[in-house]
Every structure is written in structure tokens, then in C-alpha cells.
Amino acid sequence: MAKGYRYLEPTAVARLSRINLIARSVVEGFISGLHRSPFHGFSVEFAEHREYTPGDNIKDIDWQAYGRTDRYVVKQYQEETNLKAHILLDTSGSMGYKSDESSLTKLQYASYLAASLAYLMVRQQDSVGLVAFDEKINHFIPPRSTAVHLNVLLKTLEGIGAGKVTNISQAFHDLAENIKRRGLIIIISDLLDEPRDVMRGLRHFRFKRHEVILFHVFDRWEIDFPFRKLTDFVDMEDHSEIQIDPRFVREDYLAQIQEFIGAYKRECASARIEYVQTHTGVPYDLMLHSFLAKRKQLH
């Protein structure tokens, strides 16, 4: 399946293939972590009951079960048990950054991560789509679960480059309104935008009852700030330049970047969003393997 694509490495796939992505909260059409992932085409065979939640169609309530148990439950059908996921990939200009010691830009790293996640989900017959955005949504591929669809996603990833300025929150609000069925939202971004606006966008997904996983991607130099000599820094989105002696700003910079990360950790925890920080020096497949193994242990 899907051979010969830049962002799908056979060795990485081999290490990841034994662990399935397990969604943790209840989303429409399946009980996450327990869903059976059948492949029945257009079958609508009854599968099981699940607890009624606000927003469910009252026509699906099993009144006979209510009479026996005094609990509201709805009928769940096999065609509904597959997960629908959207991978949201930040392609703004800042994602094109690569330090001298890194072999990948942040966007390349994120693309490997997106390709691996898409492969895993299609492999277990879940549907996955891809959204690429910077100041607006540039690519929107709806979720599907076929090998042909996976090839479309991988080919799209190969054609994506770092683009324009960031407007993360607007992209999130637009998507939250347009993705109708509840599911899994996977975001891969450096989040270099106003954190309060970004969190409002993330909370919009949660308001729509999506599960959200956020991969916060850095270059290691952005975290460690190893610069020692007078350096010209260039903004990768508006191309403005500033000359700085790192010795005079390093302490303040490190404090601010840790507060930037800490704020996202706190806010995501409050919103029940799973936050994963990584950088391009960490092998993406090992990071993902560790993440998925940890999720699996929770079930």
C-alpha cells in the first residue's frame, strides 16, 4: 500500500504498524477505544447500544431498552462505527524554518507525521482527511478509508510547501463550522500566532464535541536558543529583519518560550485537548510510537 512516497518511510511504518490509533472520548458513531472497525460497505446492521448524548436524533432512542433499564440509549449501526479523522497541517511560512543542525524543516517533519497517522488510520479501516492551511484553508480532502484515498493524501503532502502568514484561529473556526460529523481532529502546527485566539479556535472544536489531539512542533533551536554571536533574525512570514546580540536577550527569550509552551499545556488540559510537544530533532516515528503506546495503555 502507498509505496514510493516521500513522507511514508517503510522502516518507520514497520515500527508503527503494530499499534493502532485509539481515540479516547465518545464521538458520533462509535465508542472510542472500543470501536470494531468493520468493513461492511453500505451495511446498516445493528451493532450495539450507546448512551444518549445531547444532539443525538431522538428517533434513534431505543424505547424498549429504556423501559427495561430506565436509561436513554441509542442504537448504533456498523457503518457508523468507523472513526472519521481530519489531520490539520499548518503550512504557514514559519513552518519552513530549519536550523543548521536539523535535517528537516518543521513542515517536513509535520508531513512525515501526517503521512504516518494517515497510514495507520486507513490500515485499520478508519476514515482520514487532510486540511492544509496558513492564513486560509488551501487544501481540504474529506475523510475516506481506502488505499486509493491514502495515495491521494500522500501525493498532496508531497506538493505542499511553506506558504504565507498565519491565521490559525480563523482556519479553526471555519473548519469547526464546516466539519459536521463529530470525530477526531489532529492538529500539527508550531502555533506561532496569538495564543488566546488559537485557544478560542481549539475550544470551538471541543464545543462541536470533537476529540482534539495537538502536536506542537518546534525546531530545537527555537527551544534552546543556542545563538552566541551578533545575529540577523528574519521573520519567515513577513520577512522583516532584526539584528540582535543573543547574550542580552537569551534569558528573557528562554523564559518567554517556556511560558508560551506552558500556557498551551495548561489551556489544553483545561479544554480536555491532548497536547504533545515535540521538535524536529526527535525521530517522528519514535515519538509517535511512544505516544500511541501510552494511549493504548489507558484502555
* pLDDT number for residue 32: 37
> How do residues 256-286 score in pLDDT, each as one tens digit?
999 999 999 999 999 999 999 999 999 988 8
Domains with residue ranges and CATH for the chain: 10-20+82-297 (3.40.50.410), 46-80 (no CATH)
* pLDDT number for residue 80: 47
Residue pair 166/135 in contact by the 8 Å Cβ criterion: yes
* H helix or E strand, kind and range, residue 133: strand 127-133
Least-confidence region, from 129-138, 192-201, 253-262, 288-297: 288-297
Assess whether pLDDT exceeds 90 at residue 200. yes
> How do residues 8-21 score in pLDDT, each as one tens digit?
777 776 666 555 55
Highest-scoring range by mean pLDDT, 15-24, 51-60, 61-70: 61-70
Assess whether pLDDT exceeds 90 at residue 62. no
Mean pLDDT for the chain overall: 81
The share of the chain scoring above pLDDT 70, in percent, equals 78
* pLDDT number for residue 140: 95
Cα distance between residue 283 and residue 291, in whole Å: 12
pLDDT average, residue stretch 45-55: 62
pLDDT average, residue stretch 286-294: 84
Cα distance between residue 288 and residue 299, in whole Å: 17
Q: Helix or strand or coil: residue 189?
A: strand
Cα distance between residue 117 and residue 12, in whole Å: 11
Assess whether pLDDT exceeds 90 at residue 240. no
Q: What are phi and psi of 182, to 5 degrees?
A: -60, 145
* pLDDT number for residue 235: 65
Cα distance between residue 179 and residue 202, in whole Å: 14
* pLDDT number for residue 256: 92
* pLDDT number for residue 76: 59
pLDDT average, residue stretch 208-228: 92
The share of the chain scoring above pLDDT 90, in percent, equals 45
> How do residues 105-115 score in pLDDT, each as one tens digit?
999 999 999 99
CB atoms within 10 A of CB 49: 15
* pLDDT number for residue 220: 94
pLDDT average, residue stretch 12-41: 44
* pLDDT number for residue 26: 31
Query: What is the maximal distance between C-alpha atoms in the chain?
Result: 76
Query: Model confidence at 53, in pLDDT bands (50, 70, 90)?
Result: low
**Does residue 175 or residue 234 have the better pLDDT?**
175
The Cα-based distances of 285 to 16, 78, 250, 280, 292 in angstroms read 7, 32, 31, 11, 10
**Does residue 250 or residue 5 have the better pLDDT?**
250
**Does residue 34 or residue 165 have the better pLDDT?**
165
Cα distance between residue 222 and residue 237, in whole Å: 16
